[in-house]
Amino acid sequence: MKVVDRYIITELLKVFVICLTGFIFVFLLVELTDKIKYYFQYNPPGMLMLKYFLVKIPGYLFFAVPMSILLGGMLSLSMLAKNSELIAMQAGGIDPLNIGKPVIIVSAMASVLMFIANESVIPWSNRYSEYIQNVQIAGKTEKTFFQSDQIWLRSIDSITRIQKFDRPNKTLEKVSVVRWDSNYEFVDRLFADKAKWWQNHWVFYGVNRILKDREGRYVVESSPSMIGTLKKSPEEFDQTEMPAKEMNLGQLGSHIDRLIAEGQNPTRFLVDWHDKIAFPMVCLIMGVLSVPFPVGAGPRRGGLALGLGLSLVIAFSYWIAHSMFLALGHGGYLTPIIAAWGANLVFGPIAAMLLLKACN
């Protein structure tokens, strides 16, 4: 590696570390303000609260690293321009693209590290911090259960409504099941006053069943008890559905496969799955966007203040666009791939064009 490249990378990393530390401190301050109510309500030990805030830090990197890359590249190169070091480099035969190359390399490495962290430490951080908050501090049960009433379950050939789930006794109340065949034609509708888990299956009690006979007439059958068609066990009712931010790609993919097998719409989770691949690229985009202004502009055209202002405008513009695309994807208005990659498809070409323009 050339001496000039090492020098630029060193200056970039200095500003990057300062910005990253500042962003983490701001996020911690906001978190502290929001969670202070837990301290007064539950009076947890101070060390437990400290552990909670430390565990939250990896989750902040998801947002802090891209902004720090943008600010680090913009401010470090702006300081080199202010001190006429960029002019000296260009006078020595180093073109603007080679000046910005170290920043782009660091940004690409940050994207790779962000992807790795998003597959390992960040989901753990989000999951464990929720556990500390809800279980160790608030004293709730370890699992987040379904609501005790109005449970709806859907599979590929049926839909089930449960009025109430009695967890300790493993019983269901007011169960209604509608089934259809492969041609989506009505098969039967079953009502049960109560269901009890017994020997690995549900037994329905007080059953009324509506079905079609061979002549197409609707027939009502009654039975004091019967083996139910419901496949989900009480333990599966107890399983919490983790948010996408607490799962890696493999776990999220398995969850999507299960939703598809049950006949449910996985669109929202498909958007989040693609977003886990697309979002780490923001580090590279922010790194490229940090180069054109300080390299292409003269040292007297705004300085550090303008560089800082532009960095914040670019960062917030990307976040607004990314959030908008994700919201449209979650709502089904955009395909999952477009929703996840939309902001990158907008800002990526802009970054490339600005860089090429600055180098000409």
Return the top range by mean pLDDT from 158-162, 276-280, 291-295. Answer: 276-280
The conformation of residue 152, written as its DSSP 8-state character, comes to E
Give the phi and the psi of residue 49 in degrees, each rounded to 5: -65, -40
> What pLDDT shows up at residue 143?
46
Residue 191 near residue 211, CB atoms below 8 Å: no
Flag whether pLDDT at 234 surpasses 50: yes
Structure tokens at 177: 């099941």
**Total-model pTM:** 0.75
SS (H, E, C) 286-329: HHHHCCHHHHHCCCCCCHHHHHHHHHHHHHHHHHHHHHHHHHHH
Percent of the chain with pLDDT over 70: 91
Choice among 40-49, 108-117, 182-191, 233-242 with the minimum mean pLDDT: 233-242
Task: Provide the pLDDT for residue 145.
Answer: 38
Tell me which of 287 and 260 has the higher pLDDT: 287
Interatomic CA distance for residues 319 and 92, integer angstroms: 38
Classify 335 as helix, strand or coil: coil
Residue 242: per-residue pLDDT: 75
Question: How far is it, in rounded angstroms, from Cα 323 to Cα 306?
Answer: 26
Asked whether 358 and 333 are in contact (CB, 8 A), the reply is no
Please, what is the average pLDDT of the chain?
Answer: 86
- Count the Cβ atoms, other than its own, within 10 Å of residue 302: 17
% of the chain exceeding 90 in pLDDT = 43
Specify the range with the lowest mean pLDDT, choosing from 2-6, 274-278, 280-284: 2-6
What value does the mean pLDDT take over residues 64-72? 93
Name all contacts of 49-57 with Cβ < 8 Å and 24+ positions apart: 49/137, 51/132, 52/129, 52/132, 52/133, 52/137, 53/28, 55/125, 55/128, 55/129, 55/132, 56/27, 56/28, 56/31, 56/125, 56/129, 57/24, 57/28, 57/125
Q: Tens digit of pLDDT for each residue in 94-112?
A: 888 888 899 999 999 999 9
Q: How far apart are the first and last CA of the chain?
A: 24
3-class SS at 190? Answer: strand
Query: What does the chain come to in residues?
Result: 360
Q: Closest Cα to residue 32, out of 54, 15, 17, 16? A: 54
Q: Which residue has the higher pLDDT, 69 or 161?
A: 69
